[in-house]
Structure 1
């Protein structure tokens, strides 16, 4: 009977399996393999609803082509080879089950997307204008009724461009890549002062909320720059306790912009939410015990990093130090804090502690989840 179920029904059943269980199910027979790899819409959107995101840690320095994944279903770490990639990468942003990345050793921006589980990798086309160190933002539009492929847009703002005689100049324009068209276009101009600040002080981490892409400046005191996509207008927002935060990151919670930060002198780590009046209000405070474990005896939050996605937050430092995770439990949107031990050993083999950059993705085993050109 199981080998004769209609594909749509079987794919819906598969959507309730975590990725590791789905991988085993694919080996049962040819019919199940065909189903599991032919219905990316069912095994992607549904899996994102039923399962927690996985934390993917990529070394920030060249330590071979590999990454480390935390499987929340089994609460264990796994090492994954990235030998299929032509060069070491630096993650820029998660896109569903994909990772938007750039070459780790390249000066000019060249973006690529990959699925680390299916070992698919593809460079995006070259930008209209060669840029160094621009701000990058992602907007996910989702699969459409007419296509199973994930539809997304990538926005690139600011950056440096070499003038004819080699003098560096700031680029006061925004470019956008649309995955449906597989091409870049100039979206419009931007104020030069915003281009300068995005180039110098902004990491490649963005949050999209209610039609606006936001970036956090990396210089204290922190501030937020927003790009309203529909009107092509720029805005600047203040950051709560901007001069007292030792680290700050942006997130999206229930559709609203949120701020995650740690106070000076080893103070509390908190989450604030921006309301309709553009006023920050306290949303959550990390338990003191988890804060002490993150700090690890230090008196500063400065080296703390934040990965976020689908309402979950992970605060961490490096591969072996562990992380505090704040995520939904149950079906009513209630969130709780959890401690995840760092990756110190895999299958009894010691793992070197490394500086890493983490992203949260929903692993998907359907091949060609993005369009191949």
Structure 2
């Protein structure tokens, strides 16, 4: 109970917005603090953008992270009972992460709002720095607990002598790994050396972006195990590039430091079309930074660097395809009047809920 009484009011109230009427009524009887929250909870996330920006320090000397409430434009600090981790993907309302102080890949699931976590089983073949991708299949009764699969490709052998070519898949329903395909050696090298962990699944294909000499996109077709490669717009000049899902399609967000940033969508599976640009007045506040990163989902796209410098955000407005609007979010400088030490971060987008990784 002490953990829940320490949660910030707006965070706990957002969690209550997911409860059914009978569960909400029971929550009101727990204590005075919960009663106050339950009577002032915001609209359910289906009527507004529900994703909160989660910032994990890259050099995490303290077991903590920071989250931004997009409704109240407010930052919070959360403690994490975990070793240093790197976010890979959101799965429902949980975060899939990799442990960064381990030489070989170790994956886990956590809810940073409740501090619950568990590790996934070890792969059949221990490997260092592979590409990791995720696909989900959301049941209609509760999207917080989707069935999911994790794909691991590339990586170095435990001794560092060879590049791994087997593609392994973890299935949450069975809680086991199995080999589901192979990777050409030249692709395995690029997935290991030049590919971040972030991936996007569109249809039956899992995509990663690589930065080998020039940016390109690699796709793994889940049905037949085939690999293919796509070119990238402005591939020779981009300083950063990230794949995101936008309007149900594969999109690429990329730009040059000190220049502009653009958004392209993949059409017909082969051709990129320019669909948006970062407004100059916003881009000039951030794009001169050499460590610009990006994270996005169907709610929005966040361009960021360190905890204190602020973020350029593009959010979807309206239902369905709707339209997208650009804006600015101030960085995290103070929390409850206390100055926060600035640091480089990696971001993820999550919705606060009571979901537990033990439920999988």
- CA positional deviation for 1:94: 1.6
- CA positional deviation for 1:329: 1.4
> Residues 148 and 322 (structure 1 numbering): CA distance in 2 closer, same or farther, change over 3 Å?
closer
2:121 matches 1:125: yes
- CA positional deviation for 1:277: 5.5
2:162 matches 1:169: yes
2:332 matches 1:312: no
* Residue 9 of structure 1: aligned partner: none
* Residue 239 of structure 2: aligned partner: 246
- CA positional deviation for 1:32: 5.0
- CA positional deviation for 1:213: 0.7
2:355 matches 1:363: no
> Residues 49 and 186 (structure 1 numbering): CA distance in 2 closer, same or farther, change over 3 Å?
farther
Aligned length: 336
* Aligned equivalent of 2:329, options 322, 340, 354: 340
Runs of 4+ with deviation above 4 angstroms: 22-29, 31-34, 144-148
What's the TM-score, normalizing by structure 1? 0.83
Report matched runs for 1:81-100 at 5 Å: 81-82=79-80, 84-85=81-82, 87-100=83-96
2:265 matches 1:268: no
2:199 matches 1:199: no
**Partners in 2 of 1:351 and 1:302 — Cα distance?**
22
* Residue 220 of structure 2: aligned partner: 227
- CA positional deviation for 1:196: 1.2
Q: What do the CA deviations read for 1:330-363 (whole angstroms, capped 9, x no partner)? A: 2252110110000000011000110100001122
2:150 matches 1:158: no
**Partners in 2 of 1:48 and 1:352 — Cα distance?**
34
**Partners in 2 of 1:362 and 1:220 — Cα distance?**
36
Would the aligned equivalents of 2:286 and 2:311 in 1 still touch at CA under 8 Å?
A: yes
- CA positional deviation for 1:154: 0.6
* Residue 312 of structure 2: aligned partner: 324
Would the aligned equivalents of 2:128 and 2:155 in 1 still touch at CA under 8 Å?
A: yes
Would the aligned equivalents of 1:254 and 1:311 in 2 still touch at CA under 8 Å?
A: no
Cα RMSD after superposing both structures: 2.6
What's the TM-score, normalizing by structure 2? 0.86
* Residue 286 of structure 2: aligned partner: 294
* Residue 257 of structure 1: aligned partner: 250
- CA positional deviation for 1:202: 0.7
* Aligned equivalent of 1:137, options 133, 136, 143: 133
Q: What do the CA deviations read for 1:36-74 (whole angstroms, capped 9, x no partner)? A: 9xxxxxxxxx73564331000000002200000000111
Would the aligned equivalents of 2:92 and 2:144 in 1 still touch at CA under 8 Å?
A: no
Q: What do the CA deviations read for 1:250-287 (whole angstroms, capped 9, x no partner)? A: 111112111111136x2211101111161111110111
Q: What do the CA deviations read for 1:53-111 (whole angstroms, capped 9, x no partner)? A: 100000000220000000011111000111x33x2212122212111111121110000
Name stretches of at least 5 consecutive residues in structure 1 with no aligned partner: 1-17, 37-45
